[in-house]
């Protein structure tokens, strides 16, 4: 094995050991604006629209959408499968048909569903890798855009067609377009994980570069302060 191939192989092993499914809770470090929290109450969600997506490890995708103006709450969880009350260990080890997902509660007067789709497909994750996001592999990390209305389905399909035509990615989008059925919130320690655990090796090596790329692509949509 050549030196370059050996180096690539060892780096691959390192990333796999830091994969989202391998991490356990670390000691909490509270930052200036924590995004931790479960599902909003009915009163908190009143007047807000809801969108649900899956795009790999939810530690990263939750933070990306938390940073958008008009987004009030983002909840990490599980969706796309048939099993009730799935756990992180079950989903992460591929024992269910669910994918790591996140639910976005947003003010449609401040940010549109189309803008959420643009972020999701163009900066939120890589929608062209089948059952994989970076070091995380398996159907639990597949890309899914869930729709609640026929209009949302049309927007999703039109966005996929447009992005494919633009050649933004060298490969076609493989995102599943599915009707929304049920969302199961993840365990409390996953909510706001990116901000609470900045020392986590996965956060530093995988999540932070992806979030920095998103911020560079959509500065006009960011909250101020983040």
- 146-157 exposure pattern, b = at least 16 Cβ within 10 A, e = fewer: bbeeeebbebbe
Which phi and psi (to 5°) does residue 137 adopt? -125, 145
57 is catalytic: yes
Q: What is the pLDDT of residues 54-108, one digit of tens each?
A: 999 999 999 999 999 999 999 999 999 999 999 999 999 999 999 999 999 999 9
Both tokens of residue 183? Answer: 């969302």
37 confidence band (pLDDT: 50, 70, 90)? confident
Which phi and psi (to 5°) does residue 37 adopt? 155, 150
CB neighbour class for 170 (10 Å; exposed up to 12, middle 13-18, buried from 19): exposed
Q: What is the pLDDT of residues 164-197, one digit of tens each?
A: 999 999 999 999 999 999 999 999 999 999 999 9
| Catalytic residue selected from 20, 54, 57, 155 | 57
Q: Which of 123, 122, 20, 107 is nearest to 64 (CA)?
A: 123
The H or E element spanning position 182 is none
User: CB–CB of 38/187 below 8 Å?
Assistant: no
Q: What is d(CA 42, CA 25) in angstroms, rounded to the nearest whole number?
A: 29
Average pLDDT over residues 148-168: 98
Paired strand residues for 53: 102, 145
């Amino acid at each position: 094995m050549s030196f370059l191939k050996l180096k690539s192989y060892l780096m691959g092993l390192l990333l796999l050991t830091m994969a989202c499914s391998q991490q356990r809770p670390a000691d909490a470090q509270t930052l200036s604006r924590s995004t931790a929290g479960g599902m909003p109450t009915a009163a908190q969600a009143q007047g807000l629209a809801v969108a649900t997506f899956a795009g790999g490890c939810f530690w990263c995708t939750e933070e990306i959408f938390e940073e958008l103006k008009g987004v009030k709450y983002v909840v990490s969880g599980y969706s796309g499968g048939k099993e009730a009350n799935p756990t992180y260990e079950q989903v992460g080890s591929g024992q269910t048909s669910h994918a790591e997902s996140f639910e976005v509660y947003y003010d449609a007067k401040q940010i549109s569903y189309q803008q959420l789709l643009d972020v999701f497909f163009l900066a939120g994750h890589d929608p062209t890798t089948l059952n994989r996001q970076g070091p995380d592999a398996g159907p639990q990390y597949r890309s899914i855009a869930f729709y609640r209305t026929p209009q949302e389905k049309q927007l999703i399909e039109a966005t996929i067609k447009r992005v494919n035509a633009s050649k933004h990615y060298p490969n076609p989008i493989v995102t599943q377009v599915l009707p929304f059925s049920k969302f199961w919130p993840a365990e409390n320690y996953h909510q706001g994980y990116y901000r609470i655990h900045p020392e986590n090796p996965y956060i530093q090596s995988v999540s932070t570069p992806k979030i920095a790329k998103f911020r560079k692509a959509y500065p006009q949509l960011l909250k101020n302060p983040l």
